[in-house]
Amino acid sequence: MSNEISIKERVAEMKLASPYMAASTNEARNQALSNIAKFMMIDQGKITEANELDLKNAAENGISQAVMKRLKFDYSKRTAVQAGLEQLKELPDPIGKTTLSRELDKGLVLNRVTVPIGVIGVIFEARPDALVQIASLCIKSGNCAVLKGGKETLNTNRVLFEIIHRAAVEAGLPENCLMLAEAHSEIDELLKCDREVDLLIPRGSNAFVRYIMDNTKIPVMGHADGLCHIYVDKACDENLALSVIADAKTQYTAACNAVETLLVHRDIAADFLPKLKDCAEKSGFALKGTAEVGGMIGCEVIDESEFKEYLDLILSVKLVGSVDEAIDHINRHGSHHTDSIITTDDETAERFMQLVDSAGVYRNCSTRFADGFRYGFGAEVGISTSKIHARGPVGLEGLVTYKYKLYGEGQIVGDYASGKKSFHFKDI
């Protein structure tokens, strides 16, 4: 019989530690964030060595370029992570905010106060920067976290987790506030911990997220697809449109907020599509379009049913006859993640932004702005397309819930039920 402690036992200990994590001071949690940044600087040689090993192993195993790009944790990514830690430290404490204070009767006061969710399990892709961002958000919001990254980042994640855990403990946070899961088999064990884990946040492919949702009783928050659209209206600045499209497709192609489908108003297609083709060639991405599009610019022709989330330098293109047709296409076929309109017409823009049912709806800018750091959240634990609890990039506010605290002086319900006393609700 193995002497190793099971995931369930480890998470049970974390559950017991979660009230103490929730009760930690903002100063202690901010100190942990400062420690992470400091220790990453001290141990940058270890981080680089571990990341180079992961990159070497990935190359030998024929990992795709999209994954390799995510896996690389170079100086620029470390700098961005450290900037995120600084931004996160400056944000107000999300815990202990009173969002309602009501006197129910004399001497009987009800308060609604923000509290951490508790124990959060986050299963994420092969991105070392994601480990730091997710862990730091959980620390700042007073949550305990089980962290499971992609197997391709095993060595980098191990070094980073040691840094983060040491940073948290040295700041006075509970020993069991963080846990790193490394084996793939541990995911299935984690899914069974519905009494210990309060929330799961899976990040990855549609099939993976669906698997998580179908195999656990734990509440799940996240998104399955990142099928983002840009609609180029007949009233548009074409140079602006081309710049936005190129950024949304190429700035970070493997991201879930990269544009995957372009809708172009038919009235400007003859003029705009050749310019789009030239832009694609210069920017290094390929176009695939409906037969109508292919007939105009000679790109590869595909059926609309083949439009998908490529996570690659490929963009699907379709022509539409109106903003309403664009809205209908997005609401029918999109993933409700992030969609953008390029137009100079205020009325058309407002109609699009009102009727497109997505977590992020933009005007005249790249879908790549759908990001917790770019929203000023410090970072994000993921992006949710759900409408319950949190939507869009999930930062600190998405990682807290609330509890009701009722302060009395011996009141009993019987007095109110009998009519001896009555409520006189008054917000205070």
% of the chain with per-residue pLDDT over 70: 99
Whether the pLDDT of residue 73 is over 90: the answer is yes
User: What pTM does this model have?
Assistant: 0.83
| 102-107 long-range contacts, CB within 8 A, separation 24+ | 102/425, 102/426, 102/427, 102/428, 103/424, 103/425, 103/426, 103/427, 103/428, 104/406, 104/423, 104/424, 104/425, 105/411, 105/416, 105/421, 105/422, 105/423, 105/424, 106/424, 107/408, 107/409, 107/411
Instruction: Determine the angle formed by the axes of helices 26-42 and 128-140, rounding to 10 degrees.
Output: 160
Q: Report which of 89, 3, 75 is spatially closest to residue 41, judged by C-alpha positions.
A: 75
> At residue 300, what is the residue type?
E
Run of H or E residues at 229:
strand 228-232
Q: How far apart are CA 376 and CA 384, in angstroms?
A: 17
Q: In which band, very low, low, confident or very high, does the pLDDT at 205 lie, cut at 50, 70 and 90?
A: confident
φ and ψ at residue 6, rounded to 5 degrees: -75, 165
Q: Report which of 174, 195, 189 is spatially closest to residue 18, judged by C-alpha positions.
A: 174
CA 356 to chain centre: 20
Whether the pLDDT of residue 53 is over 60: the answer is yes
Task: Output the pLDDT for position 64.
Answer: 85
CA 160 to chain centre: 20
Whether the pLDDT of residue 84 is over 50: the answer is yes
Could you please report the per-residue DSSP string of 84-129? Answer: HHHHHHHSPP-TT-EEEEEEEETTEEEEEEEEE--EEEEE--S-HH
| Six token digits for residue 282 | 């210069």
Task: Output the pLDDT for position 206.
Answer: 74
User: Among 23-27, 82-86, 287-291, 379-383, where is mean pLDDT lowest?
Assistant: 379-383
Average pLDDT of span 25-44: 97
Whether the pLDDT of residue 2 is over 70: the answer is no
**Three-state DSSP string of 3-19:** CCCCHHHHHHHHHHHHH
Q: How far apart are CA 399 and CA 216, in angstroms?
A: 20
User: Is-contact 278 331, C-beta < 8 A?
Assistant: no
Compute the mean pLDDT over every residue in the chain, rounded to the nearest whole number.
Answer: 94
Q: Residue 43: which residues within 8 A CB-CB, separation 6 or more?
A: 159, 163
Q: How far apart are CA 396 and CA 116, in angstroms?
A: 9
Q: How far apart are CA 197 and CA 192, in angstroms?
A: 9
User: Among 209-218, 232-241, 403-412, where is mean pLDDT lowest?
Assistant: 209-218
Q: How far apart are CA 289 and CA 314, in angstroms?
A: 10
φ/ψ bin of 97: left (φ > 0), alpha (ψ from -120 to 50), beta (otherwise): beta
Q: How far apart are CA 418 and CA 254, in angstroms?
A: 64
- Hey, what domains does the chain have and what are their CATH numbers? 7-220+395-404 (3.40.605.10), 228-369 (3.40.309.10)
Half-sphere CA count of 30, side-chain side, radius 13 A: 13
**Positive or negative torsion for Cα 90, 95, 96, 100:** positive
Average pLDDT of span 313-327: 98
Whether the pLDDT of residue 1 is over 70: the answer is no
Q: Report which of 424, 403, 400, 427 is spatially closest to residue 118, judged by C-alpha positions.
A: 400
Half-sphere CA count of 66, side-chain side, radius 13 A: 15
- How far CA 70 is from CA of 134, 223, 381, in Å, comes to 15, 19, 16
Average pLDDT of span 380-386: 85
Tens of pLDDT, residues 156-167:
999 999 999 999
| Six token digits for residue 177 | 């506030």
User: Is-contact 414 252, C-beta < 8 A?
Assistant: no
Beta strands in 252-302, from DSSP E residues, in sequence order: 259-265, 286-289, 300-301
User: Is-contact 15 118, C-beta < 8 A?
Assistant: yes
Q: In which band, very low, low, confident or very high, does the pLDDT at 226 lie, cut at 50, 70 and 90?
A: confident
> At residue 214, what is the residue type?
D
Q: Report which of 367, 350, 349, 232 is spatially closest to residue 293, judged by C-alpha positions.
A: 232
Q: Report which of 366, 312, 334, 206 is spatially closest to residue 261, judged by C-alpha positions.
A: 334
